[in-house]
A and B are shown apart, each in its own frame.
Chain A
Amino acid sequence: MLTLTCPCCGVSGEETEFAPGGEAHLKRFGPGSSDEDFRDYLFQRQNPRGVHFERWRHAFGCGKWFHAARCTQTLEVFGTYPGQTSTPTPDIIAAIKARRPEWEPQA
C-alpha cells in the first residue's frame, strides 16, 4: 500500500486518497515548437525502473497538486515536495541519495 504525505496540508494518507498525475518536471512545448519537441512533451516518458519524480494531487483532501519522489520497483516513497518548482529540490535529492547512494539525477 502506497502511503503519501501531502506537503501542503501535512496529512498522510494511502493512495486512494490521492490521484496520480504522471511524470513531473516535463518541459512544456506548444505552438511554434518542433514536431519532436511537441512529441516529447506529449508522449515520451522516462519510465525508469527505479527513482521516479511524479505529480500527485491530494484529491480527497486539500485538493492541491504536489510532487513526489518514489521508487517504481519497491514503491518506496523518498519524500514529497511542493508543486511550485520545476526541478527536484536539493532536499529531495539528498533524501534519495541517503537511500540510493549509487543513484545520479538525470540532466
Chain B
Amino acid sequence: MGRYSAFAIAKQAFSHHKGWDRAWPSPEPKPEYDVVIVGAGGHGLATAYYLAKNHGVRKVAVIEKGWLGGGNTGRNTTIIRSNYLQPSSMAIFEKARSLYEDLSQEFNYNIMFSPRGVLMLAQTEHELRAWKRTYHANRIAGIESEMVTPRQIKEIVPIINLSGPRYPVLGGLWQPRGGTARHDAVAWGYARGAAEMGVDIIQQCEVTGVDRDAEGVTGVQTTKGAIRTKKLCIVVAGNSGVMAERAGFRLPVESVALQALVSEPIKPAMDCVVMANTVHGYMSQSDKGEMVIGGGADGFNNYTQRGSFHHIEETLRALVETFPMISRLKMLRQWGGVVDMTGDRSPIIGTTPVPGVFINCGWGTGGFKAIPGSGWATAEMVAKGTPGDLAAPFSLDRFTEGRMIDESVAAAVAH
C-alpha cells in the first residue's frame, strides 16, 4: 500500500489514476490467529490497530458479517466530545478525543477531524446546575470546558432562538476542542493502518458459533470455515446479545434503534455542534452543507435499523423551536442504527465468564466519539489478558458489585 501525498497524486495522474492500490487488502481467512476480533466497526478495527501498534500482536483477524464500518460507525452523527461527569468516563473519552487530534497524520489518511466546538444547552434550572457540576468535574480532570452565558451562546450560534417560550436557553456547557470527524474515514483509516501492520480484515464472513473446551475458547465457526484462536474479542455493538449467547453467556444490554436524519444541503449557517438535551435534538452542519440531526431512540427492543416514525416529528419540533430558520428545511434521508444500552448507560469493556473471550459493548448512543480510546483500552486488555487502568472500571462484574458508572443522569438522552 503506497503512501498518499500530493506527489503520489501527481504521479498517478500520468497513468490516468488507474494505478492506485486498494486502500487495504481483502484476504481469505487463515486457519489460526493469535486474536480474532468479531466486528469490523470503528471499535473492532481500532482494537486491531492498537494490538498491532502498541503491543506487537499482528496475527490478528477482524471478521465482519457485512461490510467494514457498515453498522453504527457509519450511522452516527459524528460528534466527538469528552465532557462527561464520572472520572472513568472522562478518562476514556478524553483519551479518545486527544487521539482523534493526530489520527489523520498517523494514518496518512484524512479523517477530517474538525474541532469546531460542542455546545450543550441548558434549558432548565436543573440542567444548568447539572452542567455546572460537569464543568467543575471536567476542570478537575484537566478537560478544557467552559460555562457560557446566553449572550455568548448567541455569538457562537447566531441562528439560535434563546427565548423559546417553553424552554428558554439559560446557559450552556461549551467544549471548544470537541467537534466532528468523517465517520467512514475513521473506520477506513483504522482498517488501512491495521492492514498495513499485517492484520487480516475479512468481510462478508459471519461468525456462526464459538468453539470452546473446558479451558476456554478454542476458535470460531464462520461462513468461511473454522478459525482457531485462544483469544476472541466480541465488538459487535447492537448484536452483542446475540454473539454473547453463541459464546455461552448473557449480557446486561438491550438493543434499540436510534435514528438520525440529514436535511437538504444549505449554505454555511452553523459552525459548531449544538445539543439541546431537554427538548431532545442535536444538530451540526456537515461539510456538504446538510444539517446532521440526531433523533430519538425507541423505547422497546428492536433490531430494525430504522426506528419509529414519530421520533422524527418530535426531534424536528424541538429543533424548529430552537432554530426557527430551519422550519422550511426539507429532510433528505433518515436511518437508524441498533445500539446496545446498558443499565447505567456506560460501556462494558472486560473479560467474560468464558476464559479467552473479551467483550467491548454497551456504548449505547455514544460510541463513535470513543473509538480511539476504546480501541486503545481493549487492545491493552486483550494483549495482557486483564484490563488496564482505562478499561478496568468498565468491567462486566460492576453490575454484580453495584459499582455503576452513572452517565444516564449526566448525559441524559443525547449521549
Contact = CB atoms under 8 A, between A and B. Distances in A.
A11 B394 CA distance: 44
Nearest to B308: A15
Interface centre among B239, B252, B300, B302 (most CB of A within 10 A): B300
B99 to A, nearest CB: 30
A87 interface: no
A72 B255 contact: yes
A49 interface: yes
A52 B252 contact: no
B303 A54 contact: no
A39 B400 contact: yes
B21 interface: no
Interface residues of B, number: 24
Contacts of A54: 300-301
B310 A47 contact: no
Nearest to A47: B241
B146 interface: no
Contacts of A20: 298-300
A2 interface: yes
Contact of A45 (B239, B253, B299, B302): B253
Main DSSP-derived SS at the B contact region: loop
Contacts of B414: none
A49 B343 CA distance: 19
A47 B251 contact: yes
A39 B252 contact: yes
A23 B250 CA distance: 14
Contacts of B251: 44-45, 47
A39 B399 contact: yes
B310 A72 contact: no
B254 interface: yes
B308 A1 contact: yes
Contacts of B302: 72-73, 75
A105 B400 CA distance: 27
A35 interface: yes
Contacts, number: 70
B308 A73 contact: no
A52 B399 contact: no
A100 to B, nearest CB: 15
A16 interface: yes
B309 interface: yes
A32 interface: no
Contacts of B400: 35-36, 39
A73 B250 contact: no
B242 A35 contact: no
A2 B241 CA distance: 23
Contacts of B408: none
Contacts of A74: 304
Interface string A62-96: 00000000101111000000000000000000000
Contacts of B241: 45-49
A49 B242 contact: yes
Contacts of A39: 252, 399-400
Given A20-B300, A46-B250, 20 more contacts: A1-B309, A19-B299, A20-B298, A22-B254, A39-B400, A42-B399, A43-B342, A43-B399, A44-B399, A45-B241, A45-B253, A46-B241, A47-B241, A47-B301, A48-B242, A49-B303, A52-B301, A54-B301, A72-B301, A75-B302
23 contacts: A1-B309, A2-B300, A2-B308, A15-B310, A16-B310, A20-B299, A35-B401, A42-B399, A44-B250, A44-B251, A45-B241, A45-B301, A47-B254, A48-B241, A49-B241, A49-B242, A49-B303, A52-B301, A54-B301, A72-B303, A73-B303, A73-B304, A75-B302
